[in-house]
Chains A and B, each alone.
Chain A
Amino acid sequence: MHSMKLKLIYPEEKIKEPILSKVCKNFNVDINIRKANVQEKIGWLELEFIGDEVEIEKAINLLVENGVEVLPIEGQVFIE
């Protein structure tokens, strides 16, 4: 079983959409939310995806396709 700690950042216009629910319904991934801040103009969650590597990858792709920024828990690692 694979796990990934992630930070999801929702753009303002996507905050009201049930995107995480789509992930739950479509893929065999357990979602463990640890921290979140969802308000009118801000939406981010820190969570863990637990499941098969391929399923987690599909879940991430769905989030990205829906406009959610999916970062590792460490934030921006890459430095120019």
Chain B
Amino acid sequence: MAKVKGLKCKECGAEYPVEPIHVCEFCFGPLEIVYDYQEIKKNISREKIEKGPKSLWRYIDLLPVENPTVGLSAGFTPLIKAENLGKLLGLNNLYIKDDSVNHPTLSFKDRVVSVALSKAKEFGFDTAACASTGNLANSVAAHAASAGMNCYVFIPSNLETNKIIGSLVFNPVVVAVDGNYDDVNRLSSEIANEFGWAFVNINVRPFYSEGSKTLAFEVAEQLGWRIPDTVVAPLASGSLYTKIWKGFNELIEVGLVEGKPPRMLGAQAEGCSPIYQALKEGRDFIKPVKPNTIAKSIAIGNPADGPYAVKVAKESKGDIQIATDEEIIEGIKLLAKTEGIFTETAGGTTIAVLKKFAEAGIIHKDEVVVAYITGNGYKTMEVLEGKLEKPIHIKPSLIEFKEKVIGKNVKVGG
């Protein structure tokens, strides 16, 4: 028996075979992978996983891929005990899952893209595509290059090209579309449905999003095969948040860990918080918003998995909080100065919200808490311009050094 039974509509439950499809023909709901956990349980063990590759592919038994060929080094990023930040927040067991050093393009997207393009190759696709200027485009372009696939990246034409240098270097075909974001969204959907391409977050999305489960698998293994009490993760489309939840539940289902799944705390930017708003207003549907935040990598105004994220927040007895742009910057700086990790705005949002939950006493001091850091700050350094300490200017004179530096900064030489 195969580990994957097929695809199933998350709304009406209609079943489909394993194909590069993503929308239910009956109700237009999104499709999700259905596994045969009884079958998986027979083949999976902690020992087998521990002997596997040092990448997300050690969890292949719980991924919808038979033969991984793309992104063989993605995943298995560090889980760091955050002693300094923990002390500051009054948390004795705080951990950082650090996907800012994911390989090869320094964000959690390397996980989802590895799974999406490995599956795409199994389906026989020779072309990868996405619509992005950021982490997603970086990852798709890099993985397509190494896999020998053609690659198309779609962007609105009014964006400066220097924003996409990190993708252009991999030599994809970049298509600048005359139009706004909605025009790019619609055109991408049409292309994905018309051409035999793997458009990562459209027609191979059910496979793509499964890659995020490995964020749960790795954390459990790195904690010595246990589930944290609470996790804090950013919410953009809501996919990562719901798949981390699914990942922990699967580990319990197949008997790799005992206990209950974690409480899911979520973080959104105040300037783009449709999932937070739905939860607070008790709605089971999302009211789309126009994003207005520095946290561009999580600025999704109409999140596809928003309703499912609300459901997970409730089911796990979790919550979602928001952070202002200023708090996001402070979050970036706080993680950097306490743990030496430079994250981008999504990570800043997560840390800012972690701080709020800790200060409000929502997280108990002895809970095992994992905060997910999903991207690298070196990609978007411009958000910190004017927000950091300036250098101390001195003449090349020892007297001036003593006066202006030592005299001013008691830490130095102290």
**A80 CA to B297 CA in the complex, in Å?**
5
- Bound CA span A42–B281, Å: 14
- A76 and B301 within 8 A (CB): yes
Q: Which 3 A-B pairs have the closest CB atoms?
A: A72-B189, A80-B296, A75-B304
A-B contact pairs, 23 of them (CB 8 A): A5-B189, A46-B28, A60-B186, A64-B182, A69-B288, A72-B185, A72-B188, A74-B23, A74-B202, A74-B304, A75-B185, A76-B185, A76-B237, A76-B302, A77-B189, A78-B155, A78-B156, A79-B130, A79-B236, A79-B297, A79-B300, A80-B297, A80-B299
Q: How far is the CA of A66 from the CA of B237 in the complex (A)?
A: 27
A11 shortest CB reach to chain B, Å = 10
Q: Nearest Cβ in chain B — how far from A72, in angstroms? A: 3
Q: Is the CB of A78 within 8 A of B299?
A: no
Complex Cα–Cα for A70 and B188 (A): 13
Q: Residue on A with the closest CB to B297?
A: A80
Q: How far is it, in angstroms, between the C-alpha of A69 and the C-alpha of B288 when the chains are bound?
A: 10
Query: Is A25's beta carbon under 8 Å from chain B?
Result: no
User: How far, in whole Å, are A35 and B23 apart by their CA atoms in the complex?
Assistant: 13
With contacts A5-B23, A34-B28, A80-B133 taken as known, whether A73 is within 8 angstroms of B189 at the C-beta atoms is yes
Complexed CA–CA distance, A5 and B29 (Å): 11
How long is the Cα–Cα vector from A37 to B185 in the complex, in angstroms? 22
Judged by a CB distance under 8 angstroms, whether B205 is at the interface is: yes
> With a CB–CB cut-off of 8 A, which chain B residues contact A69?
182, 288
A37 touching B299, Cβ below 8 Å: no
CA distance A78 to B180 in the complex (A): 10
Min distance, Cβ A4 to any Cβ of chain B, angstroms: 7
When C-beta atoms are compared, the residue in chain B nearest to A41 turns out to be: B287
Contact B186–A78 (Cβ < 8 Å):
no
Q: In the bound complex, what is the Cα–Cα distance between A30 and B301 (angstroms)? A: 29
- What separation, in Å, do the CA atoms of A60 and B182 have in the docked complex? 11
CA distance A7 to B131 in the complex (A): 18
Asked if B27 lies at the interface with its beta carbon under 8 angstroms from chain A, I say yes
Q: Known pairs A75-B302, A77-B184. 9 more at Cβ < 8 A?
A: A6-B186, A73-B23, A73-B28, A73-B189, A74-B205, A75-B185, A77-B188, A78-B155, A78-B185
Q: Is the CB of B288 within 8 A of A74?
A: no
Residue A29 at the chain B interface, CB threshold 8 Å: no
In angstroms, Cα B285 to Cα A76, docked, is 15
Q: Are B132 and A78 in contact (CB under 8 A)?
A: yes
| Contact present for B22 and A78 (CB under 8 Å) | no
Q: Measured between C-beta atoms, what is the minimum distance from B228 to chain A in Å?
A: 27
Query: B237 touching A75 by the CB < 8 A rule?
Result: yes
CA distance A60 to B132 in the complex (A): 23
Residues of A within 8 A of B (CB): 4-7, 9, 34-35, 37, 42, 46, 60, 64, 69-80
Contact A74 B156 (CB under 8 A): no
Closest chain A residue, CB of each to CB of B238: A75
A interface footprint on B295-330 (CB within 8 Å = 1, 0 otherwise): 011011111100000000000000000000000000
Determine if A9 and B300 form an interchain contact, defined as CB atoms under 8 angstroms apart. no
When distances are taken between beta carbons in the complex, the residues of chain A under 8 Å from B27 are 34-35
Q: How far is the CA of A77 from the CA of B239 in the complex (A)?
A: 13
Q: Are B182 and A71 in contact (CB under 8 A)?
A: yes
Does B154 touch A at the CB level, under 8 Å?
Answer: yes
Please, which residue of chain A has its CB at the minimum distance from the CB of B156? A78
Which A residue sits closest to B135, measured CB to CB? A79
B123: interface (CB < 8 Å): no
With A34-B28, A76-B185 known as contacts, the answer to whether A4 contacts B190 (CB < 8 A) is yes
- Inter-chain CA distance A74–B306, complex, in Å, is 12
Q: Report yes or no: A42 in contact with B296, Cβ–Cβ below 8 A.
A: no
List chain B residues, Cβ under 8 A from A34: 26-28
Mask, B12-48, CB within 8 Å of A = 1, is 0000000000110011100000000000000000000
Q: How far, in whole Å, are A5 and B182 apart by their CA atoms in the complex?
A: 14
What are the interface flags for B54-95 relative to A under an 8 Å C-beta threshold, 1 for contact and 0 otherwise? 000000000000000000000000000000000000000000
| Interface membership of B196, Cβ < 8 A | no
Instruction: Give the docked Cα–Cα distance between A78 and B134 (Å).
Output: 10
**Which of A4, A46, A71, A72 has the most chain B CB within a 10 Å cutoff?**
A72
What is the CA–CA distance of A60 and B190 in the complex, to the nearest angstrom? 13
B residues within 8 A CB of A76? 181, 185, 237, 300-304
Complex CA distance for A76 and B301, rounded to whole angstroms: 7
Nearest CB of A to B198, in Å: 14
